[in-house]
Structure 1
Amino acid sequence: MKVGIIGTGNMGTILSEALLDGKAASPSDLIVVNRTRAKAERLKHKFTGIMVANSIQEVIKHSNLIFLCVKPNDIFPLVKDNNALFKAEQCLVSITSPITTDWLENITPCSCARIIPSITNRALSGATLVTFGKKCESHWQKKLIDMFSAISLPMIIDDKITRVASDIVSCGPAFFSYMTRRFIEATVADTNIDEETATKLSEHMLIGLGDLLKKRFYSLPTLEEKVCVKGGITGEGIKVLEKELDGVFEKLLQATHRKFDDEVKHLEKVFNP
């Protein structure tokens, strides 16, 4: 089966590398294209056997499964301009949250799906969010679940929770990386620890935390309970977090949902004029 990747920016590259490292696809299966050819060539240098196409049309013509890894605003013109090339036996997958499978099904004969990856998939870990179109053939549904099981935990979700699920799975790593970085900066500014040591300790703390959860030694609440001894030092820190973080995550979600809603309204006019 030939897998086409249209767009090898950050997420297109991460998806390609994860599929290859997870043995969900072989380099000879992949046909990639990017507006800046050098980015696609970098993938080919890393994974010998990948085919770098000269055009989007070449990818569509020679692929069975096609991933659209471009910006939301670029998807409608890309699909519409090349609509004559798409075939009913192909499967078309968007990896961006504002694009619904219904919109894609209305303008292409393909089986359609939306799969929202995470940067954690690069480590063959984390989750991916899956939504199948109403007309998506069952064999494609099985193929996609099998493929993404090799690099993640694929979770089929309803459109109603797309944004908040994406906040957790796709945006979450950036949010928690930012908070960790601010934690490191505070330790360096207010104590005698150097940045390299603080960073190394923090990274291994996060890795260890992930391992504890993965191996199911503790749940998040029980883990906090085990560390936070009543009347102890950790408890004093938790009191600060409880006070200072009050309402922060609610505001974060409100901001991402506002942006998402604005994008959906704009894109809906494009897909359904």
Structure 2
Amino acid sequence: MNVGFIGTGSMGSLLIGAFIASGALEPSQIAASNRTFAKVECLAEQHPGLRAETNNADAAKGKDIVFLCIKPHEFRAVLDDIRGSLRPEQLVVSITSPVMLCQLEDWLPCKAAKVIPSITNHVGGGAALCMYGDRATAADRQRLEHLLRHISEPIRIDERYTRIVSDLSSCGPAFFAFFVQRFVDAAVEETGINRAEAIAIASAMILGTGKLLTEGGMTPEHIQARVAVPGGITARALELLELDCDGMFNRLIRTTHEKYREDVDKVQTSFYGEEVNGQ
């Protein structure tokens, strides 16, 4: 399998590194391009054999799978760059949530898919959320998910739920890392405990809690019930959290969805222009 990457920023370089570290791909199976060529050269130095391409068309030409790891506003220009080099049997995979599968299929002569990765894929954990265009076959799905399975748990989802599953899977690590940070900050401020020690303890707790929710078969409600003795310390703290967090996650989801809709509209305009009188 030969794979192309267009965009080697934070997530593009993470995926490349994870695929190589997991043994899913050899560096010689990967070609990559980036707006700033020095970033691709750096990756090629880290992974000898990886082909650093100076233009997007060469990164896409002849590849079985082409990952587009770029920002929404870059799509129109990148698709214009590569569509002349693509063939019907190739699969182009966008990791950018506001770009719709129907838009990719409108602009490209090949098959299209969308994958929402997570920073947790860096350590072979978490999910990779998979969506497919109408032209993608069962064989295409199997090939992509076989690749992703080396670094994640591939989960197929309906594209209409792109934003909320992205909140849970892709944004979630940042949200929960924020809570760990604030929990540790408070522990240090209130008690003087060593910060590094507090982070180590809290990190081990997060890892263990995740295993309870997956391997342990417990639900969030079950864990709370098992830890919180009625009238005890944890129960009193949970009452405080219930009050202070009331509606907070609803507001969080509304905020991410509002920004998502803005990005969707901008992508739509970049592809098809401004609507005039609803036309």
Could you state the TM-score of these two structures normalised by the residue count of structure 1? 0.95
Gaps of 5+ in 1: none
2:93 corresponds to which residue? Answer: 93
1:72 corresponds to which residue? Answer: 72
After superposition, what is the alpha-carbon deviation per residue over 1:103-136, rounded to whole angstroms, capped at 9, x for unaligned?
0000111110000100011111101111100111
After TM superposition, give the deviation of residue 258 of structure 1 in Å.
Answer: 0.3
User: Residues of 1 paired with 2:135 and 2:212: CA distance?
Assistant: 40
1:1-273 matches, cutoff 5 A: 1-273=1-273
Stretch moving more, 169-178 or 17-26: 17-26
| Number of aligned positions between the proteins | 273
User: Residues of 1 paired with 2:210 and 2:181: CA distance?
Assistant: 17
After superposition, what is the alpha-carbon deviation per residue over 1:152-194, rounded to whole angstroms, capped at 9, x for unaligned?
1111111221100000001000011011101111111111212
2:276 corresponds to which residue? Answer: none
After TM superposition, give the deviation of residue 217 of structure 1 in Å.
Answer: 5.0
CA contact (8 A) 2:5 2:60 kept: no
Letter in 2 for 1:219: T
Gaps of 5+ in 2: 274-279
Among all aligned residue pairs of Structure 1 and Structure 2, give the percentage whose two residues are the same amino acid: 36
Structure 1 runs, 4 residues or longer, greater than 6 Å off: none
Letter in 1 for 2:204: H
Q: Please give the root-mean-square deviation of Cα atoms over the aligned residues, in Å.
A: 1.4
After TM superposition, give the deviation of residue 67 of structure 1 in Å.
Answer: 0.4
After superposition, what is the alpha-carbon deviation per residue over 1:31-73, rounded to whole angstroms, capped at 9, x for unaligned?
1112223322332233222111122121122422100001011
After TM superposition, give the deviation of residue 86 of structure 1 in Å.
Answer: 1.5
After TM superposition, give the deviation of residue 208 of structure 1 in Å.
Answer: 1.8
Stretch moving more, 14-23 or 114-123: 14-23
Letter in 2 for 1:208: G
User: Residues of 2 paired with 1:242 and 1:133: CA distance?
Assistant: 41
